[in-house]
Amino acid sequence: MEKFDRNFIFGTATSSYQVEGAVSEDGRSPSIWDTFSTTPGKVMQGDTGAVACNHYHLYKDDVKLIKSLGVDSYRFSIAWPRIFPEEGVYNETGMQFYKNLIAELKENNIKPVVTLYHWDLPQWAQDQGGWVSRKSLKWFRSYAQKVFRELDGEVDSWITQNEPWCAAFLGYHQGVHAPGHTNMDDALKAAHHILISHGQTVNLLKQEMQSSTPIGITLNLSPFYPATKTLNNEIAANNADGYTNRWFLDPIFKGSYPSDMINLFSKYVHDFSFIKDEDMELIAVDCDFFGINFYNRQLVEFHAASDYLYRPAYSDYDKTEMGWDISPVEFQELIRRLRREYTALPIIITENGACFPDQITEDGEVHDVERTNYVKKHLQAIAELNDEGMNISGYFLWSLFDNFEWAFGYEKRFGIIYVDFENQQRTVKDSAKFYRNAIAARNL
């Protein structure tokens, strides 16, 4: 019996800065990631996305590879600084790349799922405050409007924002992502503006442009568990969940920020007047689906000296090369919780995958058994969830290629297609072959 019905969407995913390269071509201006990655000490080995997978030039061959996987859909993102290299200055040549890519995908019967923002904010916007500034709403609106005018109709689904937690908290609080700020006040403002930008973009598409193309947002969610069941560790897990998950889930689905987190954040942020009542209504806008990027569960313990009273705890689970727990059971618990507490919208797993240290062996292949098992376990988990009626309607394997893994550079490989960054040669890994067979059989 088939485990996935015919309507289930199987896909694979990438993002612009991680694969495109061609950072100074055809009128593209620098993004915050060009600036960040060329700042010494920010990215491992000093890697940058300047060439990445050279997908900008190799996209036709890459679409052939995507086609060979038998996927229904390909998720990619648009580099904002290709479209608006300066404030208010539209670059048709930059847009043409995406028109070509979409045409190529459609000729091959692959549905394009397009993310508007996967972290490559134009540097000109950052120079004026970036997401910390409320002006970001105006900038993002013009960008989204132009992209919709040019591409809506050719796109299967839109994702407004990818992982606001990473963009805001890794970028503006922890400083490990661009633009590298370490300030909670900045992070909360950035998160708030990113969330509003999501709401206003959905309204732009649906109300102003009267489009019926499905649109939603993607959050990275990670369930937190106390290392042991003490009251203090439960507090730690609740705070970690608030910082990572609820700060984004609550406004999107309940129209308010969690009050326990406002109290906790008040230790460092004294003025919340940047949050206006009308913003909350906008953030809680109706969408067509909810995107989730899932990688791992996290174990935490109470730690009085940490900002929010928690720190990572030892876990004996098998791990990926990122040190992330392999946790398909907790993935299922997360989905059930979302159904109980937050939403009945169709859920799309917009990213799931694993990093392992791959090598091409003497037979010229990449036998990535661990990644294959990881993917298999998560697909199995989805099939079981759907048997329970959890309505997961799609799965996008992260990632199509080994690519620029942000602060880790090219050191960490998530691809189901191996990329030799010396010569851009692609090698289809065993995990890709497994995925192709699973899709063909709609089974595992």
Q: How many residues does the chain have?
A: 444
Single out the residue of 423, 380, 421, 371 nearest to residue 398, CA to CA. Answer: 371
Q: How far is the CB of 75 from ligand IFM (least distance, A)?
A: 11
Residue 398 binds ligand IFM (CB under 6 A): yes
Minimum distance from residue 442 beta carbon to ligand IFM (Å): 26
Classified as helix, coil or strand, 267 is coil
Question: Least Å distance between CB 434 and ligand IFM?
Answer: 20
Catalytic residue set: 163, 351
**The only residue of 20, 62, 279, 351 in contact with ligand IFM, by rule CB under 6 A:** 351
Report in angstroms the alpha-carbon separations of 152 from 18, 280, 398. Answer: 24, 27, 24
Cβ 277 vs Cβ 284: under 8 Å = no
Q: How far is the CB of 305 from ligand IFM (least distance, A)?
A: 28
Q: What is the signed CA dihedral for 200, 221, 131, 323, rounded to 10 degrees?
A: -160
Site for ligand IFM, residues 235 to 294, rule: CB under 6 A = 293
Choice between 197 and 293, CB closer to ligand IFM: 293
Identify which of residues 192 and 412 has a Cβ nearer to ligand IFM in the complex. Answer: 412
Annotate 391-433 with DSSP letters as a single string. -EEEEEEE-SB----GGGTTSS---SEEEETTTTEEEEBHHHH
Consecutive H or E run containing 113: strand 111-117
Closest of 76, 111, 117 to residue 97, by C-alpha: 76
The only residue of 15, 115, 239, 431 in contact with ligand IFM, by rule CB under 6 A = 15
Q: Which amino acid is at 332?
A: Q
Nearer to ligand IFM among residue 186 and residue 351 (C-beta): 351
How many binding residues for ligand IFM (CB under 6 A)? 9
Q: How far is residue 159's CA from residue 77's CA, in Å, rounded to a whole number?
A: 9
Contact map string, positions 180 to 219, toward ligand IFM, x by CB under 6 A: ----------------------------------------
Question: Which CB, 111 or 118, lies closer to ligand IFM?
Answer: 118
Considering only residues 414-433, where is the footprint of ligand IFM by CB under 6 A? Answer: 414
Residue 166 CB, nearest approach to ligand IFM (Å)? 7
Q: Which residues bind ligand IFM (CB under 6 A)?
A: 15, 18, 163, 220, 293, 351, 398, 405, 414
